[in-house]
Amino acid sequence: MRNFLIILSVLVFFTACSSDKNTVVTSPDGNVAVTLLTDDSLQLRYQVEVDGKPFILPSRFGFDERQGFNLSQSFTIDNIKKNQCDETWTQPWGENKAIRNHYNEMEVRLHNPENVSLTLRFRIFDDGLGFRYEYTVPGADSLLVSDELTQFNFAKEATSWSIPANFDTYELLYRRLPLSQVENANTPITLRTDDSLYASIHEAALTDFPEMTLLRTDSLQFAANLAPWPDGVKARFDGNSFTTPWRTIQIAREAVGLINSSLILNLNEPCALDSTDWIHPMKYVGVWWGMHLGIESWVMGDRHGATTENAIKYIDFAAKNGIEGVLFEGWNAGWENWGGSQTFDYTKPYDDFDMKRISDYAREKGVKIIGHHETGGNVLNYESQLDKALQWYADYGVHDVKTGYAGGLPNGHNHHGQFNVRHYRHVVQTAARYHTTINAHEPIKDTGIRRTYPNMMSREGARGMEWNAWSDGNPPMHHVMLPFTRLLGGPMDYTPGIFDILYENAKNNPNRKQWNMKDSKDCRINTTLAKQIALWVILYSPVQMASDCIENYEGHPAFQFFRDFEADCDESRALQGEPGEFVAIVRRAGEKYFLGAATNEEARTLTVKLDFLKPGVAYDAAIYADAPDADWVTNPKAYTIDHRTVTADDTLEVRMAAGGGQAVSFIPKR
Ligand code: NOJ
Ligand code: CA
């Protein structure tokens, strides 16, 4: 399964005549067509048609360069190659293990009077397209990209779902807006045109470039707006060449088609690691939520969370419940400077955290420790200790690390500029040398680099669970928005599964100190309990957390779902859904299946055919549902657990309360 398996790969080359300026390439099924246009001023432009109708009207290509190199004008075509690819490759983990990569490629080589050579590479799939730029500039020692000119000039008004553009954070609330009213947006931005075509604009393989956001330049026209360096330069390169990430447009006839697409992964480079057998998806718990609620602290003191005693308790709980990993935050010196000098020490545990004893105990119990490297944004401090820190953890048998960047970057850098994109990549590559996996919080957006570096497991990159502890929280629509937006890029460490929905236990805890921004009286989880369970299935992460304090799981009947659940799976399918309204997703892990469905503020019932199950097999369906009188506002904790014997011929009525959800595990009956 882990072997790279090419079923079919056909490459057909031909060279078009050099005077051909009007160039078209279509998807394998012929429904998506991209045309490269060169007009009289020799400005490069492209247009996209879907089902024979305009989708992107002529839109510009190119870049501006600060030293005066011409990267946009007067290009003429030297030759055009057309290639086809149809292969199936496998990944060590992921929503789907086997992935079909089926596209038609158009490689257009151009040059301009300054002899700048540009290859525009287009790959057109049945479910969308990507294009990228490959430049070589004779005589340049360095290149300073000052602007990207790529446009997305939409043909029609659409409903859109996105977060605003921001070069430092993605932890923002989603907006549903007519496209013509979006001033700027981060990607993925998802749309539905008035004639019901779904699309999402994003990027793939962002490893050495600033992130792309969109800026509206005319009613339905957007231009790429890149995160800058402190001096305003957008991207800088030593030498005379550079290749950009792919600019991507996913296209689907149904909203769930966007989720079921592998376009972003397919546009990334194949695995660059020699071996991947050391990479393990896992379920985990952690010393974490207590800090966010204020009943424990990261800093050593009376309320310290990461003590040896607590660590042993969490390891015991994990071992007893078949949970593979335990995360400890607040274990190392430096938390007292969080928000100040941000000088964490990654090899100095607090005195009450006995790393030797804890790691010996975890090994004995067969539980993995998940390490934590909070940087506070001080990436220079982190980089100066990176090798030593990873080696230190590896010596204790720790090969999975959660990183964090909660705080400003040094020297005026922002989180999403090229400087930090390089940092994030450097961490992933360095970690691979120690056979260590990374789960990044406050990350760069996910653009599918897990294909190339499968030790890049999961990341945050949207408002996660933590926002419910110290703000108005994430509204019910947020969780049914994420699969259609943020998660199109890749897995998310949202950390679902809070059972103490109203924080009753936390509020009764005499240790609780309000460090947070919001009055504790108002804070709560804005879902039902059944929806929390469903989110373990819906919000895919190969490292999936049961995020509540373990006391809230002890003896709770509904925790059985997490015990049965598998963090990783073999196949996934989004069955039904609309952005911000509802979603139903099924995943297969070996012989087991898991269904997760959730809704926004509206109660609704979905009819789900069980034809995804293996025919002829009887399954025990354990149904974790909202109780008939459940409601996320007035009665969020009311749930039921029912068992039914089902087969692939059956249909389930999935009833969900307002702000609710439903989770079902299907386990073959013996
Ligand atoms: C923000 C992260 O998202 C959260 O998970 C973590 O607990 C804090 N930073 C502290 O590192
Ligand atoms: Ca965060």
Can you give the pLDDT at residue 14?
31
Q: What is the mean pLDDT of the chain?
A: 95
Instruction: Determine which residue's CA is closest to atom 3 belonging to ligand 1.
Output: 441
Q: How far is the CA of 406 from the centre of ligand 2 (A)?
A: 7
How far apart are alpha carbons 296 and 431 in whole angstroms? 30
Confidence of residue 510 (pLDDT cuts 50, 70, 90): confident
Q: For 542-583, what is each residue's pLDDT tens digit?
A: 999 999 999 999 999 999 999 999 999 999 999 999 999 999
Instruction: Determine which residue's CA is closest to atom 2 belonging to ligand 1.
Output: 441
Could you say which of 95, 211, 329, 466 is catalytic?
466
CA 212 to each of CA 155, 395, 540: distance values in angstroms, whole numbers, following the listed order:
21, 39, 24
Mutate to test the pocket of ligand 1, among 331, 372, 374 (most ligand atoms within 8 A of CB): 374
Closest ligand 1 atom to Cα of 464 = 3
Active site residue 466: yes
Q: For 170-218, what is each residue's pLDDT tens digit?
A: 999 999 999 999 999 999 999 999 899 999 999 999 999 999 999 999 9
With a 6 A CB cut-off, is 172 part of the ligand 1 pocket?
Answer: no
* Nearest residue to 362 (alpha-carbon basis) of 403, 400, 391: 400
With a 6 A CB cut-off, is 148 part of the ligand 1 pocket?
Answer: no
With a 6 A CB cut-off, is 460 part of the ligand 1 pocket?
Answer: yes
Q: How far is the CA of 404 from the centre of ligand 1 (A)?
A: 6
Closest ligand 1 atom to Cα of 298 = 10
Q: Is the pLDDT of residue 16 over 80?
A: no
Confidence of residue 4 (pLDDT cuts 50, 70, 90): very low
Domains observed in the chain: 2-266 (2.70.98.10), 470-542+564-670 (3.20.20.70)
Q: For 592-601, what is each residue's pLDDT tens digit?
A: 999 999 999 9
With a 6 A CB cut-off, is 329 part of the ligand 1 pocket?
Answer: yes
Residue type, 381: N
With a 6 A CB cut-off, is 171 part of the ligand 1 pocket?
Answer: no
With a 6 A CB cut-off, is 296 part of the ligand 1 pocket?
Answer: no
Q: How far is the CA of 441 from the centre of ligand 1 (A)?
A: 7
* Neighbour-count burial of 669, counting CB atoms closer than 10 A to its CB (0-12 exposed, 13-18 middle, 19+ buried): exposed
CA 109 to each of CA 99, 113, 136, 149: distance values in angstroms, whole numbers, following the listed order:
29, 14, 11, 19
With a 6 A CB cut-off, is 374 part of the ligand 1 pocket?
Answer: yes
Angle (CA) 87 92 97, round 5°: 50
**Number of H-type helices and E-type strands within the chain:** 12, 36
Can you give the pLDDT at residue 7?
32
**Which of 11-15, 36-40, 153-157, 502-506 has the lowest average pLDDT?**
11-15
Peptide bond into 188 cis (omega under 30): yes
Asked if 603 and 637 count as a contact pair (C-beta separation under 8 A), the reply is: no
Confidence of residue 522 (pLDDT cuts 50, 70, 90): confident
Q: Which phi and psi (to 5°) does residue 334 adopt? A: 130, -15
Q: How far is the CA of 62 from the centre of ligand 2 (A)?
A: 34
Asked if 387 and 424 count as a contact pair (C-beta separation under 8 A), the reply is: no
Q: Is the pLDDT of residue 17 over 60?
A: no
Q: Is the pLDDT of residue 18 over 60?
A: no
Confidence of residue 38 (pLDDT cuts 50, 70, 90): confident
Can you give the pLDDT at residue 41?
67
Mutate to test the pocket of ligand 1, among 370, 466, 543 (most ligand atoms within 8 A of CB): 466
Q: State percent of the chain over pLDDT 90.
A: 92
Closest ligand 1 atom to Cα of 441 = 3
Confidence of residue 518 (pLDDT cuts 50, 70, 90): low
Instruction: Determine which residue's CA is closest to atom 1 belonging to ligand 1.
Output: 406
Tokens of 79: 């030759």
Confidence of residue 536 (pLDDT cuts 50, 70, 90): very high
Mean pLDDT in residue range 256-271: 98
Q: For 237-250, what is each residue's pLDDT tens digit?
A: 999 999 999 999 99
Q: How far is the CA of 473 from the centre of ligand 1 (A)?
A: 15
Instruction: Determine which residue's CA is closest to atom 9 belonging to ligand 1.
Output: 406
With a 6 A CB cut-off, is 305 part of the ligand 1 pocket?
Answer: no
Q: Which residues surround ligand 2, an ion (CB under 5 A)?
A: 441, 460
Can you give the pLDDT at residue 40?
61
CA 193 to each of CA 122, 123, 161, 251: distance values in angstroms, whole numbers, following the listed order:
23, 23, 12, 11
Confidence of residue 446 (pLDDT cuts 50, 70, 90): very high
Q: Is the pLDDT of residue 474 over 50?
A: yes
With a 6 A CB cut-off, is 479 part of the ligand 1 pocket?
Answer: no
